[in-house]
A = this chain, B = another copy of it.
Amino acid sequence: MQERFMAEAIAMARQGVALGHGGPFGAVVVRDGVVIGRGWNRVIADTDPTAHAEVNAIRDASGRLGVWHLEECELYASCEPCPMCLSAAYWAHISKIYYAASEADAAELGFDDRHIREELQCSPIRRSLPMQQLMREEALEVFAQWRASELKRHY
C-alpha cells in the first residue's frame, strides 16, 4: 500500500516536470487507504512561491473534505518536505509523512532549503532576512476583537 501511494506522489512529480509547472516534486494525502488530495510543484506555472507539492496536496485534500485539519491523514511526498511544507503538515495535523528523495538529493539538484532551515534556527536578529516590530498595541486591539467575536473558531 505505501509503495502504491508513493508511486502516485512520484507520478504527480513526473507530470509536473513534463508540463514544465515547476520543480520535480509531487505529493498525495491519504486517508483510510484512499487518496483524498493531490499536488505537484506549480511555482512556475502559478507564479506562486508557496505552490509546493505538499502545500498543494494539503490544500486539495482540506478543500475537498471541507475541513482545516487532516487528522488521521498521511502525506506522501516524492521529496523530504522543506520547512514551509513541514510546518504546513503540522498546521494540518497530518499524522505521518512518507518521503522518497532526501533534502540532500534536492540540494544536489539545486533546490537547497538548508539555508531556510538554518535561518529558522537563528535568533531573529541574526537572520539574513531582517525583521522589525512596530505598532504592537494596534494589532492587539484586533486580537481583543477576535476574542470577543462570536464567529471565531479555533484551528
Interface residues of A in 106-155 (CB under 8 A from B): 106, 109-110, 113, 115-117, 119-121, 129-136, 138-140, 142-143, 145-147, 149, 151-155
Residues A90 and B129 in contact, CB atoms below 8 Å apart: yes
Interface residues of A in 9-56 (CB under 8 A from B): 10, 13-14, 17-20, 22-24, 26, 43-44, 46-51, 55
Known contacts A6-B135, A135-B7, A154-B110, A120 near B86 by CB under 8 Å: yes
Contacting residues, chain B, for A149 (C-beta < 8 A)? 17-18, 20
Q: Tell me the complex Cα distance, A19–B100, Å.
A: 41
Query: Interface of A with B (CB < 8 Å)?
Result: 2-3, 6-7, 10, 13-14, 17-20, 22-24, 26, 43-44, 46-51, 55, 58-59, 62-63, 65-70, 78-80, 82-84, 86-102, 105-106, 109-110, 113, 115-117, 119-121, 129-136, 138-140, 142-143, 145-147, 149, 151-155
